[in-house]
Amino acid sequence: MKTLDKYLFSALDNYPYNLLETIESLEYALSYNDKNTMALCLMGRVYAEQLMDYETAKDYFSEAISHNIHALEIYPNYIETLILNEDFDEAEKLIEFALTIKGINKIEILLKKVLMLEIKKEFSKAKLVLKEIKSIICTSNYDAQIKEFKERINSKTKGNKKGQK
């Protein structure tokens, strides 16, 4: 096993439960290869998910994509960071691009789109994307998440209808 892999696996194994070990391992991994997309992506996740420093996280994700536009692990995390940072136009463009990449988990990307539409209170569009997901899904892995989205969006739209009467 290469030294880079050892440190990368250590970082992946420690995240998110041991952040100190995660960061130390990532720093070593990036010192061996500062273009490693998996290490850059995980560093972006640390900044986004743990430190809520979305701008720094975006820098790491952007750098990772610049080294390998086909690195599938980047897109769901980068899209979620853009959504949380309310960079909706940028998130929409990245979603559309990500859906064209061969091998990407389209369900995961479309669920990020539903999240964005829900945050933007575009509930009818979110419901349409959920229908699209249902038409292409082939496993039950996302059933709970889809059900949660549907229930939450339906409760929000029913509440709006009652308030309008």
- Write out the two tokens for 49: 């998910």
State the average pLDDT over residues 94-105: 97
Mean pLDDT of the chain, nearest integer: 94
The DSSP call for residue 40 is H
pLDDT band at 158 (very low <50, low <70, confident <90, very high): confident
In the chain, where are the structural domains located? 3-164
Superfamily of domain 3-164: Tetratricopeptide repeat domain (1.25.40.10)
- Write out the two tokens for 150: 């549907």
DSSP-H helix ranges across 33-142: 37-45, 54-67, 74-84, 88-98, 106-119, 123-136
Q: What angle do CA 105, 17, 35 make, to 5 degrees?
A: 55
pLDDT in tens, 6-17: 999 999 999 999
pLDDT band at 110 (very low <50, low <70, confident <90, very high): very high
Per-residue confidence (pLDDT) for residue 164, from 0 to 100: 41
